[in-house]
Amino acid sequence: MDQMTDTVTAQDQIRETVNSNDVVLFMKGTKQMPQCGFSSRVAGVLNYMGVDYADVNVLADPEVRQGIKDFSDWPTIPQLYVKGEFVGGCDIVTEMTLSGELDALFDKVGVTYDKQRAEEIRAANG
């Protein structure tokens, strides 16, 4: 019975975080100190592009760590949300950054970022 309450609480907490922040990264570690390479890559892209985002360290809370996988129906961490919508994990965010799709998404929903920095990432990885 208690586990059910915890799951609902984690889901509510995740939903609240996703809906109250324009950009959220559920990651292992924090944006200042990522704890895995994939989280580090996505945080690095967002940090470099100057995106203001909330970071949620899934290692700090096992309920959230499992809860986010259930919430998005996506098996891996990190997970990026923009304006309440699940965008994807490391591979998808990397691909979108290099193709310019991430810029287009940010432009469409009004998320501020440094366009020049986004171009630099593409130039360095082109």
Return the amino acid letter for 4: M
CA of 32: how far to CAs of 4, 10, 39, 82, in Å?
Answer: 33, 24, 11, 20
90 is in an annotated binding site: no
- Between CA 82 and CA 93 the distance in angstroms is 11
Peptide bond into 78 cis (omega under 30): yes
Which residues participate in the annotated binding site for [2Fe-2S] cluster?
36
- Binding-site residue set: 36
